[in-house]
């Protein structure tokens, strides 16, 4: 038996899709007239991952008839049929003898346009035993969330549903690289359906398994409900899915935080003082549905002044992301500057009292985003409510929109913005109307 580089979990019943696709197994449900499983197989071939093992349960013969041994698709396919559903983790354990030392795990209800070579490189470079793709999404409240340290190492999993807003919007995207040795370490004490994300990974983490989080803004979406399937098809047809490829220069709308995304309430040092603008979620949702990334760039002098800890700021941003998720929106990244040169505050942090390149009007946060996301700055916009925002956009070389209320309240500005609008929603609508 040839040991497989890829295992595709395709045993689901597709219950949520059955009304729209009766008597069709989930792996054969079409995405723009092509079965989702065919898309996954073509992606594997594109990256020379040719030995594929597909786990089946519901209507297996129709799937085997469509794909055969894989030769017509340029790959080699083997099948494992579950007599009774084992759960995703149970299925992996059942086929562990047929997998290579490092193998890719895909789900047959997840559409992706992700550079697998970069994912494999990340796995090797981090010396990880398991690597999982993570990203923010527009429904974190019912997704499995991942908590990482500064070295991209997973330290905790938070399973859905979530009862509070204290967890960062970093979602397990259901694509994994695993070392086969990890399956040998996973010992179960009873036979039952077991889930990879909710059962296997937390157990392996407890025994010290090195699980690394590969954060990416590349396109990867669950299409397991009719609504989500339509969204994926629209994103493909509108060029959204391919716009996020690593190989492409990307576009971004940069967003100031206080006075743009949320009400300005002095120097916000506690999450209880944070309140989103009513239209902020709708505005950012429009960005998410476009070819632009949504990136927050915010000065936070409260850190240097000693009025807020890094942990406090993290809780504020977790609340912001969670509440955006309730509106069906998300931020691709948040950059913040902790510095401030003014001194004389009680409890101030002297190490943060420095001149830096990241505090707006300097362009440092935008420059970091350009490097991190392969951004074409000339096609980008910054929406903000202050002279510092407009100057940062000018210094970085991108377009800008100043919110009109700030013109009245804060007086003249050094650089003219590209445009002015009343609020974040009008600003985003204007930008997208030009595209």
* 162-195 b/e (C-beta count within 10 Å ≥ 16 → b): beebebbbbbbbbbbbbbbebbeebeeeeeeebe
User: Please, are residues 73 and 42 in contact by the beta-carbon 8 Å criterion?
Assistant: yes
User: Please, are residues 10 and 63 in contact by the beta-carbon 8 Å criterion?
Assistant: yes
Torsion (CA) 260, 266, 268, 269 in degrees, nearest 10: 170
Q: What 8-state DSSP symbol labels residue 311? A: H
Whether 115 sits among the annotated catalytic residues: the reply is: no
Phi-psi sector, 68: left (phi>0), alpha (psi -120 to 50), beta: left
The CA distance from 56 to 12, in Å, is 8
Question: In what side-by-side order are the strands of the sheet with 333-337?
Answer: 333-337, 292-299, 251-255, 381-384, 399-403, 419-421
Q: In sequence order, what E strands does 166-210 have?
A: 171-179
The CA distance from 151 to 278, in Å, is 35
Determine whether 71 is exposed, middle or buried from the number of CB atoms within 10 Å of its CB (0-12, 13-18, 19+): exposed
Task: Compute the Cα dihedral for 147, 154, 114, 33 and give only its sign.
Answer: negative
Whether 312 sits among the annotated catalytic residues: the reply is: no
Give the active site residue among 109, 144, 235, 256.
256
Backbone phi and psi for residue 401, each to the nearest 5 degrees, phi listed first: -130, 125
Give the active site residue among 258, 332, 385, 389.
258
Residues serving a catalytic function are: 256, 258
């Amino acid at each position: 038996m040839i040991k497989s580089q890829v295992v595709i979990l395709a045993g689901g019943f597709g219950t949520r899709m059955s009304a729209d696709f009766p008597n069709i197994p989930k792996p054969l449900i079409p995405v723009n007239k092509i079965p989702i499983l065919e898309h996954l197989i073509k992606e594997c071939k594109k990256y020379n991952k040719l030995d594929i093992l597909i786990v089946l349960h519901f209507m297996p013969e129709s799937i085997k008839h469509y794909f055969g041994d894989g030769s017509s698709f340029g790959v080699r396919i083997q099948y494992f049929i579950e007599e009774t559903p084992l759960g995703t983790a149970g299925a992996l354990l059942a086929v562990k003898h047929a997998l290579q030392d490092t193998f890719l795990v895909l789900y047959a209800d997840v559409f992706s346009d992700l550079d697998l070579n970069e994912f494999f490189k990340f796995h090797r470079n981090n010396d990880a035993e398991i690597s999982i793709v993570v990203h923010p999404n527009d429904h974190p409240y019912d997704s499995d969330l991942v908590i990482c340290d500064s070295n991209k190492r997973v330290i905790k999993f938070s399973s859905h549903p979530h009862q509070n807003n204290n967890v960062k919007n970093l979602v397990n995207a259901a694509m994994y690289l695993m070392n086969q040795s990890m399956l040998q370490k996973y010992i179960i004490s009873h036979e039952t359906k077991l889930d990879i994300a909710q059962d296997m990974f937390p157990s392996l983490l407890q025994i010290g398994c090195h699980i690394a989080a590969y954060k990416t803004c590349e396109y990867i979406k669950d299409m397991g409900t009719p609504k989500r399937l339509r969204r994926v098809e629209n994103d493909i047809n509108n060029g959204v899915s391919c716009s996020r490829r690593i190989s492409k220069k990307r576009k971004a709308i940069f967003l100031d935080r206080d006075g743009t995304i949320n009400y300005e309430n002095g120097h916000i040092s506690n999450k209880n003082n944070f309140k989103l603008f009513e239209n902020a979620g709708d505005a950012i949702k429009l960005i998410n549905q476009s070819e632009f990334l949504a990136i927050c760039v915010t000065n936070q002098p409260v850190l240097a002044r000693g009025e807020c800890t890094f942990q406090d700021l993290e809780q504020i941003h977790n609340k912001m992301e969670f509440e955006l998720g309730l509106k069906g929106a998300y931020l691709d990244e948040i950059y913040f500057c902790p510095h401030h040169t003014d001194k004389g505050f009680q409890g101030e942090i002297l190490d943060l009292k420095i001149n830096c390149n990241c505090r707006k009007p300097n362009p440092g946060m935008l420059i970091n985003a350009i490097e991190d996301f392969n951004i074409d700055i000339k096609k980008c916009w910054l929406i903000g409510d202050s002279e510092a925002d407009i100057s940062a956009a000018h210094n970085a070389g991108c377009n800008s929109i100043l919110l009109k209320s700030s013109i009245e309240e804060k007086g003249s500005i050094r650089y003219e913005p590209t445009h002015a609008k009343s609020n974040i929603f009008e600003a985003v609508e204007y930008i997208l109307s030009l595209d």
